[in-house]
Amino acid sequence: MRSNEEIREAIRQGRTVLGIEFGSTRIKAVLIDEERSPVASGNYDWENQYQDHIWTYSMDAIRNGLRGCYESLKEDVNRQYGVELTKFAAIGVSAMMHGYLAFNEKDELLVPFRTWRNTITGEASEKLTRLFSYHIPQRWSIAHLYQAVLNGEEHVKDVSFITTLAGFIHWKLTGRKVIGCGDAAGMFPIDTAVKDYNSAMLDQFDELVAGCHFPWKIRDLLPEVLLAGENAGCLTEEGALLLDPSGALEAGIPLCPPEGDAGTGMAATNSTAVRTGNVSAGTSVFSMAVLEKELTKPYDAIDLVTTPSGDLVAMVHCNNCTSDLNAWVGLFKEFAGVFGMDVDMDHLYGTLYNKALEGDADCGGLLAYNYYSGEHITGFDEGRPLFVRSPESRFNLANFMRVHLFTSLGALKTGMDILLKEEHVKLDRLTGHGGLFKTKGVGQRILAAAVNTPVCVMETAGEGGAWGIALLADYMVRKEDGESLNDYLADKVFADTEGTVMNPETEDVEGYEKFMEKYKKGLAVERAAVDAGI
C-alpha cells in the first residue's frame, strides 16, 4: 500500500485516473493511482422523475449531478491529501445503458431523455425483433426511435444525432460523438465479426422507414463505435469548465470510450473473458455471460450485447431489484425513530439482511413482487410493488426479509434459467457486485441459490462501475503493445485480489425453486393490480 505522500504526489503530477459513473440513484466518482487502487471518491445522489408517463432526468439534473459529484471528489482529495485536483492521466465516463437522447442539427434536445426504465416501446420492439430475427429490447435506443416513428412524433424528422447518457456526457466533455462498443450494443445490434453496427440491419431499418421520407439515414444518427483501449478524444476547455466550474481543471486530458454500466461491471469484476459472468444488483439488476457461441434462437428475455472489446455477451436485464426492499428498510428505520432510536442505515441493512438467512428455505409461503416499474421479462408495462400472504403462511421477520431478497432476483432468475437450463451456457465464474452484495454473505448466498452456481464477491465489489470505467481509462493509457483487456485485467488488476466464493446450498436451491412456482402463479395477482389501476 502506498503512503499518503506518494498518493499526494501522484495526484499533484496528474498520474491518477478518474472514473465517473451515472447510476440510477447515485453518481459516483473514483480516483485510482498507478496501482489501480481507489484513493479517493465522490458521490452525488439524484433520482429520476416520472413526467408525462416518461421516466426521465432533466438536463439540469445531469449537469448539476456531474458537477456535484466532481465537487464531492475534490473535497475528499483535499480532506485526505491537502491538494487541489488539476489534471489526470485519463478520464472515463459511464452511465446507465440504453435509453434515448435525441438532438437536432443545432445540438438541441428534442424530447426529454427517455431512460432505460421506460416500457413504452413494445410495438417497436416486437416489429424490429421480427424484422431482424434478433431480439430488440424495449429500452434500446433504436426501439425508442422507431416507436417515435410509429407514434408519428413530430420531432423525428428533425433528429440529427441520438446517443446514450454516457455518450452524451462524453460528447459534452470532448466534443466527440463516439461510444464504447458495449454501450453501442444497447443502441443498435452489433456485428461481433467487425465490432461495429450490423450493416445489413442498418439497411433493413432504412428500408423499413423509407416511406416516411425522413432527411436522414440511420447510420447518420448513431455515434461512432470505439473499442476498449482506443482514444476517444480529449477534455476540451468547455468540457473542463462543465466538470469543474472553478477553472482549476486543465483541458487536454485523454478520455476512453464512454461505456454503459454493463461494460463497467464486467471490467470491475474481471468478467470480460469467455465463460465468465457477473451480476450487478442495485436499483435494477442484470447478469452478463460472455458466450462461447451464438444462442440457438432469439429470446425475449435475453439481450445480446458485447464486452467493451466487442465479444458476444448474453444479458438478462430486469428493471426492478432493490427499490421495494429499500423502501421496507426505510419503513423499519422510521419505526425505530418513533421509539427514539437513531439506527445507522448500514447496521440496519446488515441486521435485516442477515435475519433473512434464518427464514424458511421457501420464505414460509410468503410472496412479494418488487415491480416499481414495468418488467418486460414477465410481460408488464407497469408495476405494482406487492406483498401477499395466506393465513397458512409463516409470517415473521426472517421470512419477510427473505421473500423480499428472493423477489429482488425473481425476474433475473426467469432469464438465467433460459441460459443455464435451456441453452446450457457454461460459466466458470459468476461474480456479484452492487448494493445487494454489500452485506457480506447474504446477497451472495441468495444469488447462488437463484442460479445454482458458485458466486464470487470480491473485496472491490463496493467500488462498482465508477472503478470499472476508471480501469478502462487506465487500460487506454497504460496498456502494453498487443495487451488485451482480458490480460490487463487478469494480470495487472486482479492477480492479487482476494474474493470469497460461495457454493449454492441444496436447501436454498430447492427453496428458491418452490418460491418461483408461487412467483409464477402469483403474476396473475400482479396483473390484476395493474389492470385495476390501484
pLDDT tens-digit map of 153-173: 999 999 999 999 999 999 999
Average pLDDT for 484-492: 96
Residues of the chain with CATH 3.30.420.40: 4-259, 268-319+423-506
- pLDDT tens track for 262-295: 899 899 989 999 999 999 888 889 899 999 998 9
Element (H, E) at 167: helix 165-174
Q: Which residues pair with 100 in a beta bridge?
A: 114
Q: By the 8 A CB rule, do 91 and 475 touch?
A: no
Q: By the 8 A CB rule, do 224 and 178 touch?
A: yes
Neighbours of 104 (CB within 10 A): 14
Question: Quick one: DSSP state of residue 255?
Answer: B
Average pLDDT for 239-266: 96
Q: By the 8 A CB rule, do 207 and 131 touch?
A: no
CA distance 165 to 62: 9
Pairing of strands 367-369, 224-226: unpaired
Distances (CA, A) of 190 to 90, 184, 197: 27, 8, 4
Q: What is the 3-state secondary structure (H, E, C) of 467-480?
A: HHHHHHHHHHHHCC
Indicate the class that CATH gives domain 268-319+423-506. Answer: alpha beta
Neighbours of 74 (CB within 10 A): 20
pLDDT number for residue 343: 95
Q: Which residues pair with 179 in a beta bridge?
A: 225
Residue in 292, 264, 260 with CA at minimum distance from that of residue 276: 292
Q: By the 8 A CB rule, do 269 and 458 touch?
A: yes
In terms of C-beta density within 10 A (0-12 exposed, 13-18 middle, 19 or more buried), how is residue 235 classed? buried
Q: By the 8 A CB rule, do 467 and 17 touch?
A: no
pLDDT number for residue 381: 86
Residues of the chain above pLDDT 90, percent: 88
Q: Looking at the domain that runs over 4-259, which CATH code has it been given? A: 3.30.420.40
pLDDT number for residue 75: 98
- pLDDT tens track for 104-121: 999 999 999 999 888 899
- pTM across the whole model: 0.84
Tell me which amino acid residue 265 is.
G
What is the sign of the dihedral through the CA atoms of 451, 456, 459 and 464?
A: negative
CA distance 263 to 94: 9
pLDDT number for residue 505: 97
Three cell numbers written together for 242? 462543465
pLDDT of 179 over the 90 cut:
yes
Q: By the 8 A CB rule, do 400 and 407 touch?
A: no
Q: What are phi and psi of 285, to 5 degrees?
A: -140, 140
What is the sign of the dihedral through the CA atoms of 361, 366, 369 and 370?
A: negative
pLDDT of 349 over the 70 cut:
yes
pLDDT number for residue 462: 54
